[in-house]
Structure formats: C-alpha cells, structure tokens
Chains A and B, each alone.
Chain A
Amino acid sequence: MKIKLPVYTVCIIVIILLQSTVLDYIKIYNVKPNLIIVFTVSVALLNGNIEGAIVGFFAGLAQDIATGKLIGFYALIGLYLGLAVGSINKRLYRDNIFVVIFFTFISTIVYESAVYFLWSFRSIINGQINLLYPLKAVILPEAVYNSAISVFVYIFVIKLTRTFEETERT
C-alpha cells in the first residue's frame, strides 16, 4: 500500500498533463483519447472495485481541477466507473486482452454518454436534444480510440501490479 500511493499519484499527474497538452495535437477526426477512462478501467479490472474507485475518483478530480467547469463532476463519474468495472471483473478471465478492449469500449460509451446527458440536462428539459450527433462525432470515435490505446495501458498496469506484488512479498 505504501508504494501504491506515490506510483498512482505520479501516473494520474502524468495522465492529466498529457491529456491537457500533448494529446490535443494528435487528435483524429477532432477527437482525442481519454486516458483517464482507460487507466481507471485497467486498474479496476486488475485490482478490484475499491482501488478502481479510488483511482477513478482522483483522476477525475485532477481533471476537474485542470480544465473542468465544476469541482467534483468528473470525480463523481470516475468514482462510479472504477467501482462498476471493478465489481464486474471477478467472473471474467482478466488476462485476456479482448476483455480489456471490450470493457474500455463499453465504459467509454457509458462514461461519455453520462457526461453528455448530465451536462445537457437543461437542453433535454427544453426538448432540444440531439442524440445522433454526439454519438457519431465524439462517443463512438473516442471509444474506438480508447480501445486501441487500452492494450498499451493495460500492459503497463499489469507490470505495475506485478511490481506492487513483488515489493509486498519482499
């Protein structure tokens, strides 16, 4: 536990830095990947719901602070993302890379839909909601992009987890 805290802190800070700077210059179809979702999903799949929830919460909070409109918005969604993904994992074979790709894809769709719906609450009440455009322009491309990147992030998190286990043993 002692080593996990600083390592996760550094990971989250690096992710936020990349997310708000360099990634903006490598957009594909005007969409950039969301490393926060990918990292949270990977951690939750490998280390369970509590760790997933904690990482999701702090990564979300960091995003809120970096460029969010409200403090707590992404933290709340991240918390439940980590919790939900980490709770499902027990019945699935975790070392299968397709499980990770599948979960990242589904998580991105759920997460980004949640962001869109929560934020467009007023427009929904006014009846002027556009469902197809956000799906086509942001949610689906980002889900594909995230899924592709999840392979690398997952391998990285596996290595992290093994290092944690080894240091715990010694």
Chain B
Amino acid sequence: MLNLIKSKVFLIILLTIVLLVTIALTANSNSKLNWIGNILSVPLSPVQKLFSAAGQKIDEAVSFFKDIEAIKTENEELRKRVSELERENRELEAFREKNEELRKALNLKDRFSDYTVIGSNVIAKDAGNWFDIFRIDVGTRDGIKADMPVVTNSRGLVGRILTADVTSSKVISIIDEDSQVAGWISKSGGHVIVRGDFTLKDEGLCRMDYIAGDIDVEVGDIIETSGLGGIYPKGIVIGEVKEIRMINSEFNRYAIIEPAVDFKGLEEVYVLK
C-alpha cells in the first residue's frame, strides 16, 4: 500500500516536472515541441469548422428576431447616410484620380506588393475567458509560419500567427494581453507601442503606450504599424485613438485605441506571407 501511494506521488511529481518543461519549451513559438498540437488539431479542424458554422447560424437566427425593430429605424438612418455618402463619394473619386497621378509621379510602391495574401476562415475561438487566441484553417502545408501578420479584407490589423500546425494555425490577436505592436501615429508622426489589455479586451479595444511627451495626439488620430520589430510590415492600419488618459501628469499618458477590426464578428482573415 505504501509503495502504491509513493508511486502515485512520484508519478504526479514527475508529470508536473514534464509539464513545466513543455511549458518552458513551447514558450518559443518555433519550438519543435509544438508538433504535439498536430495530434489533435489535424483531425479536429474539419469538425471545428462545422461547429463554428453551426454557432454562427444560431447567432444569426437569434439576432434576426432580436433586431427586427432596430433594423427598421436603422434602415431610415442608412437611407439618409447613403445619399450623403453618394455625394461624398463623387468628391473622393476626384481625389482618387489626383492621388493616383501623384503616386505615379512619385513612383510609390504598393505596401503589400511584397507579400502573398492567403485567405482563411476562423474555425475556433479561445476556449477560455482570459485571452484572445483563435484558430484558422490554414497551416504549414499552405506555407504558414509563426509570426506572419494577419489582416482583414479591408487591411486592418488582426494579429499574428502564434504557432502553425499542419492544417490549421493559432492566431494571437492584437487585443490579447500578450500582444505588442510597434505603432506609428500617422498624422503627427511618432513611435508608440499598441498592446492588448485585459480590462479592455471585452470591449474589443487596446491601449497605446510610450507616447513621447512632445508628440501631439488627438482623439480620432489613425495609428498604423511602424514596421519596427520585424513582424508587421509598415503601414497596416491598427485603429484610431478613442480616448487619451493622463496618469498623474500631462506627459505621462496612454491612449485607448479602437481597432479597425471588429474582433467579435471575425470570420475571414488573411495571412500575409
């Protein structure tokens, strides 16, 4: 009996040590050990795809009944907005032509032309309540590797590949606590860090730190990736400044960023390879 208890305790201690080692090793996203993930992720990703689609259908059905009143009023507002936008569109068309001319004159390259864009579907959301990791249906066999940037079809920044399995990959979004993106205030020109914050994650927001004292920041400023750090290419839109908060003094401040991406309704994303 004593031997049995001893062996159980021994087993648990051994398992704990093994787990601590795997935790330490998988902290590096290029670690070979991440291959363990394939055991489950390869057979499961088609099923996850199915389940996700079912979930979206449920969601759509529920919101259909809930929203019918709201849709009526929204429709009226949208009609007004359409006519406004039509007018604005005509004006912008003129600007676009002008812009293209100037671009040609300056010989500017398209900022995404160096990348191949790979489309993918979101097949699984984070299983817990703390983080914002999700799974997409492309993997190493499609040429996906860790740290590739992930964007939406309107080229708003979603995040980066955390680890890639054979048929699917994990993506860490920019609102996750462990995400840090080197940002650039496009109007006044200044380097900042945009990072996820646990208290803002549920609202789909993130925060902007390290704003140098001499930089002008205003609500509504567009924040782009700066290209520093080597993961994200320069010029992907992260979002816009929603609020500026002071800590003690005017020069010690951070800002709340509203990302260009709606993380709740995310279904299709694109990986830049």
Residues of A within 8 A of B40 (CB): 13, 16, 62, 65-66
Where chain B touches its partner, the secondary structure class is helix
Q: Which of A72-80, A91-99, A148-156 contacts B (4 or more CB under 8 A)?
A: A72-80
The CA of A137 and the CA of B185, in the complex, are separated in Å by: 31
A71 CA / B41 CA spacing, docked (Å): 13
Q: How far is the CB of A121 from chain B (nearest CB, A)?
A: 12
- Residue B180 CB within 8 A of the other chain: no
Task: Decide: A142 and B134 in contact? CB cutoff 8 A.
Answer: no
Q: Does A116 contact B (CB under 8 A)?
A: yes
User: How near does chain A come to B36, taking the closest CB pair, in angstroms?
Assistant: 6
Is the CB–CB distance between A20 and B19 below 8 Å? no
Convert A10-22 into 0s and 1s, putting 1 for each residue whose CB lies closer than 8 angstroms to a CB of B.
Answer: 0001001111111
Q: For the complex, give the distance between the alpha carbons of A66 and B33 in Å.
A: 15
Is B145 located at the chain interface by the 8 A CB criterion? Answer: no
Residues of chain A contacted by B12 (CB below 8 angstroms): 53, 79, 83
What is the bound-complex CA distance between A136 and B127, given in angstroms?
19
Q: List chain A residues, Cβ under 8 A from B193.
A: none
- Tell whether, in the assembled complex, residue A17 and residue B129 are in contact, meaning their CB atoms are under 8 Å apart: no
Q: Does B236 contact A (CB under 8 A)?
A: no
Check: A158 CB closer than 8 A to any chain B CB: no
A130 contact set on B, CB distance < 8 A:
198-199
* Contact yes or no, A115 B19, CB < 8 A: no
- CB of B126 within 8 Å of the partner chain: yes
Q: Are B8 and A50 in contact (CB under 8 A)?
A: yes
Report which of A34, A69, A74 forms a contact with B133, defined as CB distance below 8 A: A69
Q: How many residues of B contact A (CB 8 A)?
A: 49
Question: Using a Cβ cutoff of 8 Å, how many contacts connect chains A and B?
Answer: 129
User: Which of these, A25, A75, A119, A120, contacts B55 with CB under 8 Å?
Assistant: A25
In the complex, per-residue mask of A24-60: 1 if CB is within 8 Å of any chain B CB, else 0: 1110001110101000000000000010010001000
A18 to B52, CA, bound (A): 9
Contact with B along A100-116 (1 / 0, CB 8 A): 00000000000010011
When distances are taken between beta carbons in the complex, the residues of chain A under 8 Å from B27 are 70
Listed in ascending order, the chain B residues whose CB lies under 8 Å from chain A are 8, 12, 15-16, 18-23, 26-27, 33-34, 36-37, 39-41, 44, 47-48, 51-52, 54-56, 58-59, 123-131, 133-135, 162, 170, 172, 177-178, 198-199, 202
Closest 3 CB pairs between A and B? Answer: A21-B51, A20-B124, A72-B22
A-B contact pairs, 11 of them (CB 8 A): A19-B127, A22-B51, A34-B129, A53-B12, A65-B39, A66-B124, A67-B127, A68-B127, A76-B23, A112-B130, A116-B130
The chain A residues found within 8 Å of chain B, CB to CB, are 13, 16-22, 24-26, 30-32, 34, 36, 50, 53, 57, 62-63, 65-76, 79, 83, 112, 115-116, 119-120, 130, 133-134, 137-138, 142
